[in-house]
Every structure is written in C-alpha cells, then in structure tokens.
C-alpha cells in the first residue's frame, strides 16, 4: 500500500510541475494571439477531452507531464490543423520580444509555483531559532537527558571542570563554539558544568560528554527552541530559500560542463527522484513533500534555461538570433537541432536512470 501512495505522490509532483510549466507557455501564447491546438495534462492516449473556442483541453492516460501545441513550432509543421492559419496567429508572425516571453513563460511559472509553495509553508508552519540558547527539545539517551536538562532551560555558560575555563553562551553558535574539540584539548571524555536559567534562577548542572569525531567536538543532545516566522520574515525566507536553491542548481550545471564525468555520477533521474519522494512521503511530513515540489520546480525551470536544442533556453536563443538577422532560421535546421538536442537529453536521462537503478542494488 505504501508503494502505491509513494507512486501517487511522485506522479502528482511531476505532473503538477510540468503542467504548470506548460500552462505558462499556453497563457503567454494566448495573450499574444498564438493559436494553440491542444493543452494536455499527461501523455499517451486521451482519456478525456473538451474542445474550447480554439483549444482542445485533454487529460491523457500517462500522468508523466503534459504539453501545449502552438502554431508555428518547428515540430508542428505537418499539423493539418494549423495549415490555413494566417501567419499572425502563429509564432512566426510574432515579434521577437513576444516569442521570448512565450518561450520563457514556462520557466517563469516554475518559479511562481516554487515561490507560492515556499511562502505558504513559511506562513503556515515556518519557524526560526530564537536568539538565545533556549532548549526546545531534549533528545533521548543523551548527556542532556541523563543530567536532567529540560525544555525551556536557557544555557548561559559552559565550564570545563578539568581546566576551569568558562565559555559564556549567548546563542546556539556560542554553545557550538564552547563544545568544539579544540576548546577542551580534544579529550575523549570531558566533565562539564552547564550553567542554565530555569524559571528565572541560575543552576549549575554537572554533565559528562564524549568526543564525537563526526562533529569534531561534543554534543549535549538538545535541539534549539524555535518560534513562528512573522509575515515579513516569511517573505524574506521564501526568496532567500529560492535564491539558495537556484544558486545550487546553477553550480551543479556548471560542474556538469567543466567536470562532466564526476558530476553526472552524482545526478539523479526519475528513479532517484522517486526514491527521495518515497523517503519523504514515508516520513509523513506533508510540508516536506511540498518543499520537495518547490525544489524540483526550480530545478526543472533552470534546467530548461540551458541553451540545448529542444529546451526553452535554445528556443529563446533562436528567437533572438532571428530577430537580429531579420529572418527565420531554416525550419529543417531548427527541427534537426531540436531532434538532436532531445536525443542527447534522452541519452543523458537514460544514463542517469541506469545509475539510479544500479544504486538500488
């Protein structure tokens, strides 16, 4: 049953992201008067369709994406529906800036989706650590629990009983600094006095901690107390998070270009994404599922910016080149480049998917 739930969530995430992307192209095309023959959610055989004034809206059997067919696209040259349309109703009859907006509208909508998701999450469940070192959670079977520390205790100082050196603690950063290996000569076991404020009164709590190599220091076993984000903080955190996501993805694409062999081994395709989705779904945290959707939406948006034929970035580049030279590039050249680009993308996805499958065993 869990596998079915995981698969449903996975398909919901991908179909939503791709459908929102294609909806961006569709709306921009309609605004500029481009004839759109079909807007489809899903691929494969049609299971539902309804004809609008011009566009046929479709739901197809395979929930793995979607598409919009626009008059004037290189891959729509043989579409009989578009044969007798006046040129001004096609992409060919539009100004350069209009084509650019149409081609980039899908990417724009990917970012809109990510921003909306992150903003809703930050407003509804977003938190940030409090300024001082107040305990929000005491982890089980840890030095803090054994010593009797409690939620809402405020740690104000750490003293090494061996060296008698005191470390004032005003924040979680101060606590982390007081617990580094260097602060206690990297001793295997250290006896500490943890000075806390509880109910407005100071108390000294003796505690023994053990050096942890992975942390390069010592851990008490606590989580810092948090508070809800304010509206202003929610907006700031939303755009900061989207910016961080974007920079990480741009950096990954740069590494893919300069160090392809090493970088491609760290990438994930549909199988890897499904594995991550399943892990998040099984944790039962709805917020984490939507965070993953926001991350993937930004990822797909930026990936489409790449100037690879078949992607929106290349379509935009073609439109700009045509605007500069004052004529359309030969349709057979654009079609061939698009086919080659999509072929390369499919080969890359096949290789990455093969890697993902190997990792499962």
Convert 319-344 to b/e letters by CB count within 10 Å (16 or more is b). beebeeeeeeeeeeebeebbeebeee
Which residues, at least 6 apart from 101, have a Cβ–Cβ distance to it below 8 Å?
A: 28, 32
Class of residue 191 by CB neighbours under 10 A (exposed 0-12, middle 13-18, buried 19+):
middle
Q: For position 290, what pLDDT does the model report? A: 93
Token pair for 170: 């005003």
Q: For position 361, what pLDDT does the model report? A: 67
Pairing verdict, β 189-198 and 201-210: antiparallel
Q: For position 215, what pLDDT does the model report? A: 83
Average pLDDT along the chain: 88
Distances, alpha carbon 187 to alpha carbons 29, 194, 212, in Å: 67, 17, 10
More confident of the two residues 306 and 28: 28
pLDDT digits (tens, 9 = 90+) for 73-101: 876 767 777 888 888 998 888 999 999 99
pLDDT above 70 (res 314): yes
**Range 167-193 average pLDDT:** 90
**What is the three-class DSSP state of 241?**
helix
pLDDT digits (tens, 9 = 90+) for 328-361: 888 778 778 878 887 887 888 887 788 777 776 6
* Percent of the chain predicted with pLDDT > 70: 98
| Angle formed by the axes of helices 2-31 and 96-125, nearest 10° | 140
pLDDT digits (tens, 9 = 90+) for 111-147: 999 999 999 999 999 998 888 899 999 999 999 999 9
pLDDT above 90 (res 271): no
pLDDT digits (tens, 9 = 90+) for 198-250: 998 999 999 999 998 888 899 999 999 999 999 999 999 999 999 999 998 88
Beta pairing partners, 193: 159, 206
Q: For position 249, what pLDDT does the model report? A: 87
Q: What angle do CA 262, 264, 265 make, to 5 degrees?
A: 70
Closest to 220 in 3D by CA, of 166, 178, 171, 185: 178
**What is the three-class DSSP state of 75?**
helix
How many CB atoms are located within 10 Å of the residue 47 CB? 11
When computed from its CA atoms, the radius of gyration of the chain, rounded to whole angstroms, is: 28
**Range among 33-37, 111-115, 307-311 with highest mean pLDDT value:** 111-115
**Which of 16-25, 69-78, 178-187 bottoms out in mean pLDDT, i.e. has the lowest?**
69-78
* Nearest-angstrom CA–CA distance, 280 and 81: 44
**Which domains can be identified in the chain, with CATH numbers?**
2-126+231-359 (no CATH), 129-228 (2.30.42.10)
* Percent of the chain predicted with pLDDT > 90: 51
More confident of the two residues 327 and 260: 327
Token pair for 79: 């579409």
Which residues, at least 6 apart from 338, have a Cβ–Cβ distance to it below 8 Å?
A: 74, 75, 309, 310, 314
Phi/psi of residue 86, nearest 5 degrees: -65, 150
More confident of the two residues 79 and 312: 312
More confident of the two residues 297 and 183: 297
pLDDT above 90 (res 168): yes
pLDDT above 90 (res 256): no
What pTM does this model have?
0.83
Q: For position 203, what pLDDT does the model report? A: 93
């Amino acid at each position: 049953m869990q596998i079915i739930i995981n698969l449903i969530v996975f398909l919901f995430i991908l179909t939503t992201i791709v459908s929102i992307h294609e909806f961006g192209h569709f709306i921009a095309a309609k605004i500029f008067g481009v004839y759109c023959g079909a807007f489809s959610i899903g691929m494969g055989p049609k299971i539902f369709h309804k004809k609008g004034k011009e566009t046929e809206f479709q739901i197809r059997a395979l929930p793995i994406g979607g598409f919009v067919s626009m008059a004037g696209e290189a891959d729509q040259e043989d579409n009989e529906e578009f044969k007798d349309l006046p040129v001004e109703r096609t992409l060919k009859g539009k100004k350069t800036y209009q084509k650019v907006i149409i081609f980039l509208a899908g990417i724009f909508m990917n970012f809109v989706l990510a921003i909306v998701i992150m903003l809703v999450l930050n407003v509804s469940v977003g938190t940030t650590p409090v300024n001082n070192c107040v305990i929000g959670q005491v982890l089980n079977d840890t030095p803090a629990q054994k010593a009797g520390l409690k939620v809402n205790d405020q740690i104000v100082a750490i003293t090494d009983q061996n060296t008698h050196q005191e470390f004032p603690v005003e924040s979680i950063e101060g606590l982390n600094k007081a617990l580094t290996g260097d602060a206690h000569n990297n001793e295997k076991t250290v006896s500490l006095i943890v000075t806390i404020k509880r109910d407005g009164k100071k108390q000294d709590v003796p505690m023994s901690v053990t050096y942890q190599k992975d942390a390069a220091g010592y851990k008490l076993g606590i989580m810092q107390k948090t508070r809800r984000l304010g509206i202003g903080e929610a907006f700031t955190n939303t755009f900061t998070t989207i910016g961080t996501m974007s920079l990480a993805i741009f950096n990954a694409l740069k590494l893919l270009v300069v160090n392809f062999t090493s970088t491609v081994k760290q990438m994930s395709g549909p199988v890897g994404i499904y594995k991550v989705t399943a892990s998040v779904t099984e944790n039962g945290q709805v917020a984490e599922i939507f965070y993953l959707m926001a991350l993937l939406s930004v990822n797909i948006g930026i990936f489409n910016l790449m100037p690879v034929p078949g992607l929106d970035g290349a379509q935009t580049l073609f439109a700009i080149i045509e605007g500069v030279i004052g004529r359309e590039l030969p349709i057979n050249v654009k079609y061939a480049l698009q086919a080659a680009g999509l072929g390369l993308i499919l080969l890359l996805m096949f290789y990455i998917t093969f890697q993902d499958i190997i990792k499962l065993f």
